[in-house]
Chain A
Amino acid sequence: MLKITDLHASINGTEILKGLSLEIKAGEIHAIMGPNGAGKSTLASVLAGKEDYEVTSGTITFEDQDLLEMSIEERAREGVFLAFQYPVEIPGVSNVNFLKTAINEIREHKGIPALSAKDFLRLVKEKSALVDLDASLASRAVNEGFSGGEKKRNEIFQMAMLEPKLAVLDETDSGLDIDALRIVARGVNTLKSANNATLVITHYQRLLDHIIPDFVHVLYDGKIVKTGGKELALALEEKGYDWIKSAE
């Protein structure tokens, strides 16, 4: 589904990703771990198409298409979803209106007629239950006045609504208490299917107790330096990132 080959990317002239390669197949959950500054969030931003980052070399193919040639919204419509580390607030725009616009833009792109108000509301009800999101949050302005946990749950709610092929969770666990963590993990696990894939970016191992990855990659200094199964995450937790740094 996703194939990244020898990716180099920089911001303001500073190279952050220095030859990253990664392949993700449908049905898989991958975790990327690494110390601060390793390039984890840069990878998420480059996948989503954020324009502050410049890809200097390397390729990314997504579903046999050149992802780097696609605009931000095209990537989203083709099924790339980013759960933001810091979801922004959009005052005055209700969550429901925001999602309805998004869903119908995606449907238009796919040549499917717009969702009726009735079907849309049914979907909202169904999916918000998945992450215990209070129905009132759906009608409030996007992320405005949401607690940290509510914002993260709202990201997963949006993911459930948009049904992406590839979901990238950028440090979704940061700032979550254990209950919220469980709710988020349950949402992600429920949405998992043979046709979609998830890339979990995290600093800590604890999220991986709840979302069991098929592969764990260690990102260090812009490259993947180690790949293994879920036991790698436990080893990292135990030995710390210095273990990777000294092993290099």
Chain B
Amino acid sequence: MAGYTENELAKDLADKEYQYGFISEIDSDVVPAGLNEQVIHLISAKKNEPAWLLDYRLKAFEVWKTMTEPEWAHVAYQKPDFQAISYYAAPKQTKKFESWDEVDPEMKETMAKLGISLEEQQRLTGVAVDFVMDSVSVGTSFKAKLAELGIIFCSFSEAVQEHPALVKQYLGTVVPTTDNFYAALNSAVFSDGSFCYIPKGVRCPMELSTYFRINAGGTGQFERTLVIADESSYVSYLEGCTAPQRDENQLHAAVVELIALNKAEIKYSTVQNWYPGDKEGKGGIFNFVTKRGLCEAHAKISWTQVETGSAVTWKYPSCILKGDYSVGEFFSVAVTNNYQQADTGTKMIHLGKHTKSTIISKGISAGHSQNSYRGLVQIHKQADHARNFSQCDSLLMGSICGAHTFPYIECKNASAQIEHEATTSKIGEDQLFYCQQRGISEEKAISLIVNGYCKEVLNQLPMEFAVEAQKLLSISLEGSVG
């Protein structure tokens, strides 16, 4: 057998085509391209929103106009032309479905290609899926069962109509409209998303799951997610994303806000597999997302993410540890390949006493990609006895990719305890040889080694998701052997 070098491996990785590249032909109701006050009025009117929400959007738009795009991230890309984007696309079929049979067969097929047959999931896994396709939720299941417990899990638009008081109370409290350029944009034009409320003392009996999917060409996706866990409640929330193959770059600027009240716990897991662009770096999703959670006393928020897609990722799921004894966690696997660029990490803001945070970040770079970890650990003056542990590991495949670590630590309290560990390694020829000498094929060996490397993070994912994430990692590496 000819010698297989890392360069060849890198080349093979580059040759792998995006597996979810298909386009659904569903009639979309698309607002003309461009962004101005009329468009915002139009979006708000189409969604039949109350005046306060229109007002919220318009204020955000005013703020956005004064802002400029952030440039500090270690990414380089052609900035989107915000006047060339259509800010709203809803599948034309807007009537509510009485039963699953009524749903457009093509839409079902789309889901089947994603491997998430709703029926299957409902029946076999007990996962309630809120499927978002081009911004409008089409299937919310298990609602009745959740309702018995007082749990609200619905599309954001529905929440605005049915639970306006809750939305009004919490919207923008963790990520204010003024937070950053993309958050302001999202606040002005968000189309739909998910809303979740867990009442006091309730432990949500199932994983709540939403699949996001960008479908219509040239439409940005501006998701808005709001999860509120009331005192002493618990919820595990899963978010999965895939997008069809397209040539032009598509913008995704979501905002996710989590609120964990006293003694509540939120576990938020993401598997993101959007189109990363082709092997020349053409096309692909721009993923500029603001995710943040607020912890009151003794509350806990845990972010777990497996990021394998998107052309450019700019994402820092963060925790504001406001309450005493609150806990924040961040577990991340970010894979970049070809010309993908990822600048991702977390912010742990310690405000309360005895607050604790853990950061485990695993980066895997292949091809020409650039993979950066950027994290901030901030201990405020009053945060006595705060503790943080950070571990950032990078795995390199080939010699033309890059891995970077930008840890920021700001500590204003002497009683804090902060640890940071970082490693960079290459997939060892010796490790591969060892596996092959035991009869394991090179492809399986790479998959074994990579999964082993990510294990601490994959272990954090709920079972169904962990299996999917492992598959995704394998798919990412598929065909990597000649």
- Confirm or deny: B20 has a beta carbon within 8 angstroms of a beta carbon on chain A: no
Decide: A48 and B431 in contact? CB cutoff 8 A.
no
- Confirm or deny: B150 has a beta carbon within 8 angstroms of a beta carbon on chain A: no
Decide: A73 and B442 in contact? CB cutoff 8 A.
yes
Residues in B neighbouring A74, C-beta threshold 8 A: 1
Residues in A neighbouring B444, C-beta threshold 8 A: 101, 105
- Confirm or deny: B112 has a beta carbon within 8 angstroms of a beta carbon on chain A: no
- Confirm or deny: B430 has a beta carbon within 8 angstroms of a beta carbon on chain A: yes
Residues in A neighbouring B430, C-beta threshold 8 A: 88
Decide: A72 and B431 in contact? CB cutoff 8 A.
no
Contact among B434, B452, B454, B456 for A88, CB-based, below 8 A: B434
- Confirm or deny: B105 has a beta carbon within 8 angstroms of a beta carbon on chain A: no
Q: In A42-84, which residues have CB < 8 Å from any B CB?
A: 48-51, 70-77, 81-82, 84
Question: Bound state CA distance, A198 and B430, in angstroms?
Answer: 23
- Confirm or deny: A123 has a beta carbon within 8 angstroms of a beta carbon on chain B: no
The prevalent SS among residues of B at the interface is: helix
Contact among B3, B436, B448, B454 for A90, CB-based, below 8 A: B448
Decide: A93 and B452 in contact? CB cutoff 8 A.
yes
Residues in B neighbouring A175, C-beta threshold 8 A: none
Shortest distance between the CB of B251 and any CB in chain A (Å): 35
Known: A76-B439, A82-B437, A93-B448. A71 touches B1 (CB 8 A): yes
Residues in B neighbouring A145, C-beta threshold 8 A: none
Q: Chain B 312-329, CB within 8 Å of chain A: the 1/0 string? A: 000000000000000000
Q: Chain A 109-127, CB within 8 Å of chain B: the 1/0 string? A: 1000000000000000000
Decide: B428 and A101 in contact? CB cutoff 8 A.
no
Contact among B438, B441, B442, B451 for A158, CB-based, below 8 A: B438
Shortest distance between the CB of A75 and any CB in chain B (Å): 8
Decide: A88 and B431 in contact? CB cutoff 8 A.
yes
- Confirm or deny: A98 has a beta carbon within 8 angstroms of a beta carbon on chain B: yes
- Confirm or deny: B440 has a beta carbon within 8 angstroms of a beta carbon on chain A: yes
Contact among B428, B431, B436, B454 for A73, CB-based, below 8 A: B436
- Confirm or deny: B97 has a beta carbon within 8 angstroms of a beta carbon on chain A: no
Decide: A98 and B438 in contact? CB cutoff 8 A.
yes
Question: Bound state CA distance, A48 and B3, in angstroms?
Answer: 13
Residues in A neighbouring B436, C-beta threshold 8 A: 49, 71-73, 76
Shortest distance between the CB of B339 and any CB in chain A (Å): 28
Decide: B453 and A91 in contact? CB cutoff 8 A.
yes
Question: Bound state CA distance, A91 and B450, in angstroms?
Answer: 9
Decide: B439 and A73 in contact? CB cutoff 8 A.
yes
- Confirm or deny: B433 has a beta carbon within 8 angstroms of a beta carbon on chain A: yes
Known: A51-B3, A88-B428, A88-B431. A72 touches B452 (CB 8 A): no
Decide: A92 and B437 in contact? CB cutoff 8 A.
no
Question: Bound state CA distance, A88 and B431, in angstroms?
Answer: 6
Residues in A neighbouring B441, C-beta threshold 8 A: 73, 105
Chain B residue with Cβ nearest A159: B438
Shortest distance between the CB of A168 and any CB in chain B (Å): 10
- Confirm or deny: A141 has a beta carbon within 8 angstroms of a beta carbon on chain B: yes
Question: Bound state CA distance, A91 and B452, in angstroms?
Answer: 6
Known: A51-B4, A91-B452. A106 touches B437 (CB 8 A): no
Residue from B437, B442, B454, B456 whose CB has the most chain A CB atoms within 10 Å: B437
Question: Bound state CA distance, A104 and B456, in angstroms?
Answer: 25
Residues in B neighbouring A87, C-beta threshold 8 A: 434
Chain B residue with Cβ nearest A50: B433
Decide: B452 and A92 in contact? CB cutoff 8 A.
yes
Known: A72-B433, A98-B448, A101-B444. A92 touches B454 (CB 8 A): yes
- Confirm or deny: B471 has a beta carbon within 8 angstroms of a beta carbon on chain A: no
Contact among B4, B428, B433, B449 for A93, CB-based, below 8 A: B449
Residues in B neighbouring A97, C-beta threshold 8 A: 448
Decide: A93 and B451 in contact? CB cutoff 8 A.
yes
Q: Chain B 447-481, CB within 8 Å of chain A: the 1/0 string? A: 01101111110000000000000000000000000
Question: Bound state CA distance, A97 and B437, in angstroms?
Answer: 16
- Confirm or deny: A138 has a beta carbon within 8 angstroms of a beta carbon on chain B: no
- Confirm or deny: A133 has a beta carbon within 8 angstroms of a beta carbon on chain B: no
Known: A92-B451, A92-B453, A101-B448. A162 touches B438 (CB 8 A): yes
Known: A88-B434, A90-B431. A77 touches B439 (CB 8 A): yes
Decide: B449 and A84 in contact? CB cutoff 8 A.
no
Shortest distance between the CB of B342 and any CB in chain A (Å): 21
Residue from B1, B4, B439, B454 whose CB has the most chain A CB atoms within 10 Å: B439
Residues in A neighbouring B452, C-beta threshold 8 A: 90-93, 141
Chain B residue with Cβ nearest A99: B438
Chain B residue with Cβ nearest A89: B431
Decide: B439 and A92 in contact? CB cutoff 8 A.
no
Decide: A76 and B434 in contact? CB cutoff 8 A.
no
Measuring CB to CB, which residues of chain A are less than 8 angstroms from any residue of chain B?
A: 48-51, 70-77, 81-82, 84, 87-88, 90-93, 97-99, 101-103, 105-106, 109, 141, 158, 162
List the 4 shortest-distance A-B pairs measured between CB atoms, nearest first: A92-B452, A93-B452, A71-B1, A92-B455
Given contacts A73-B441, A91-B453, 19 further A-B contacts (CB under 8 A): A48-B433, A50-B433, A71-B1, A71-B436, A72-B437, A73-B439, A74-B1, A76-B438, A88-B428, A90-B435, A91-B452, A92-B455, A93-B448, A93-B449, A98-B435, A102-B439, A105-B440, A105-B444, A158-B438
Q: List 23 A-B contacts (CB under 8 A).
A: A51-B4, A70-B1, A71-B436, A72-B437, A73-B436, A73-B439, A76-B437, A84-B434, A88-B430, A90-B434, A90-B448, A90-B449, A92-B452, A92-B453, A98-B438, A98-B448, A99-B438, A101-B440, A102-B435, A105-B441, A109-B439, A158-B438, A162-B438
